[in-house]
Amino acid sequence: MSLLSVRDLTVSFPTSDGVVRAVRGLSFDVEAGQTLGIVGETGSGKSVSALSLLGLNPGADISGSAVFEGTELLALRQDQLRRVRGAEIAMIFQDPLSSLHPYYRVGWQICEAIRTHRRTSRAEAMRQAVELLRMVSIPQPERRVSAFPHELSGGMRQRAMIAMALALRPKLLIADEPTTALDATVQAQLMELLGGMQRELGMAMIVITHDLGLVATVADSVLVMYAGRGAERADYRTIFRSPHHPYTRGLLASIPGAAGSGGRLVPIVGQPPSLIRIPSGCAFHPRCPFAMDVCVRDQPPFVPVSGGEGHLSACWLPPDAVGVDAAADVARQRYVEGRRGPAIARLRAAVAGARPGGAVAHG
């Protein structure tokens, strides 16, 4: 039995402009002691999914199922969720400067997390806070425990957030963009720290990021999201060696170094769609180089493909259309050529009319 099992999670927000469908039927599992990487562009629903599990999306309409150790999280009252948050499931938020309260010292905030769930004295909680800061390699923790968040560097603030998240030894840690705005050296140090803490505590992790390079170093399995849905899911080796979904293929092609030394990056054309006005069929079809008429018309199911065991993809390409080399792309192109009709012709005409000079992207 999985530590966390999410099925058909749907999250929407009513606004004056319309309903924002932030998450649309998302399903995934997290195994004990394993790391799931959730990857996608900004606005794909990664953070909203995680926050919804912990009841941190006030005003949202949420449906589906999220079972953690046999308990349905989405059915819990707020007082019951407070007993889970921090103690059983902890979260490292995106921006530590805005996540840490500017009015309170770092040590006080760590103590608050400890004393909310454990009956302990303020002095004992402060001693634990110092040890936690030492554990995450913050120098002079006896001094830093009395510092305000603005007095710490970005890397130190992120380490303080990690210390707070690990204070109660949770079974599942959700790290939402844990290395955003940090330089490469600090990023590597933080991910090494999280990996070491995971091994020591035996906890599972969900790492949310847009950085596939980061995922390659930490994740056991990867879920690629686009426009609120799962696009592809597999173990990390399969995702990098045998991707099926064109969106995953595009993300890999846009990684620096993917084209070899001196090669040009290959960006994904266009922009992510509005979650108020999501395109018909497959939401990726306006940007997809392999779009067919069926992609415009029908939403593809999330089904097994032939990249490996547990490899799932939501794409109308044939199950054996996997791979990252030129031969795989040629095979994809051959498959779609005879399956393009009036819908794709209209789409290309609309795209051409929207671009300066009427240029149409090849493929």
C-alpha to C-alpha distance for 305 and 295, rounded to whole angstroms: 17
Pair (140, 263) in one structural domain? no
Q: What does the block give as tokens for 271?
A: 């922009």
pLDDT number for residue 241: 93
pLDDT number for residue 185: 79
Average pLDDT for the chain: 90
23 half-sphere exposure, CB direction, 13 A CA radius: 27
pLDDT in tens, 189-246: 888 888 888 988 899 999 999 888 888 889 999 999 999 999 999 999 999 999 999 9
Pair (156, 237) in one structural domain? no
Number of domains in the chain: 2
Q: DSSP string covering 13-58, please?
A: EEETTEEEEEEEEEEEEE-TT-EEEEE--TTSSHHHHHHHHTT--T
Residue 308 lies in a domain: yes
pLDDT number for residue 360: 39
Size (the chain), residues: 363
Pair (352, 255) in one structural domain? yes
How would residue 354 be classed by pLDDT, with cut points 50, 70 and 90? low
Pair (261, 353) in one structural domain? yes
Pair (159, 235) in one structural domain? no
Q: Write down which residue in 123, 139, 168 finishes a domain.
A: 168
How would residue 307 be classed by pLDDT, with cut points 50, 70 and 90? low
pLDDT number for residue 214: 85
Residue 316 lies in a domain: yes
Q: Which domain holds residue 278?
A: 225-358
CATH number of the CATH domain containing 324? 3.40.50.300
Ranges 31-35, 157-161, 304-308, most confident: 31-35
Pair (271, 160) in one structural domain? no
pLDDT number for residue 260: 54
Tokens 């490469």 sit on residue: 184
pLDDT number for residue 362: 39
pLDDT number for residue 109: 95
Residue 212 lies in a domain: no
Q: What does the block give as tokens for 107?
A: 């040590």
Q: With beta carbons less than 8 A apart as the criterion, state whether 254 and 268 touch.
A: yes
pTM greater than 0.95: no
Q: DSSP string covering 270-314, please?
A: S-PPPSSSPPSSSTTGGG-TT--HHHHHSPPP-EE-TTSTT-EE-
Residue 287 lies in a domain: yes
Residue 90 lies in a domain: no
Residue 151 lies in a domain: yes
Residue 59 lies in a domain: no
